[in-house]
Amino acid sequence: DAKTTQPNSMESNEEEPVHLPCNHSTISGTDYIHWYRQLPSQGPEYVIHGLTSNVNNRMASLAIAEDRKSSTLILHRATLRDAAVYYCILEGQGAQKLVFGQGTRLTINP
């Protein structure tokens, strides 16, 4: 499985945008990029996913580099409820699974 690299932790302030980076230099042409988050004592929750183009939904935006070797999850206006561990995951052909790394622990300051 192709690997992802994320910072262990990040900190931001409430109501400010947050940019969470993810490097995936060994990504293949058919790998999807998924982002999930896990709030304390809960199961992971889907945030967004994409293949080649940038994606937007009600929760966040996903910016994918032109060479697809990195991506950035953008929370446009962070709230305290966005404090969680964010996982960047590559889903490969035939994998039928999501391979979770250690993720980025995001802290939001009031």
Partner 1 sequence: NAGVTQTPKFQVLKTGQSMTLQCAQDMNHNSMYWYRQDPGMGLRLIYYSASEGTTDKGEVPNGYNVSRLNKREFSLRLESAAPSQTSVYFCASSQNGIMGETQYFGPGTRLLVL
Which residues contribute to the site for partner 1 (CB under 8 A)?
30, 32, 36, 41-46, 49, 51, 87, 91, 93, 95-103
Q: Report, in Å, the least distance between residue 97 CB and partner 1.
A: 5
**Closest C-alpha among 12, 106, 17, 4 to residue 61:** 17
Q: Report, in Å, the least distance between residue 18 CB and partner 1.
A: 20
Adjacency order of strands within the sheet including 18-23 = 18-23, 70-75, 61-64, 55-56
Nearer to partner 1, 36 or 71 (CB): 36
CA–CA dist 22, 11 (Å, integer): 16
Q: Report, in Å, the least distance between residue 15 CB and partner 1.
A: 28
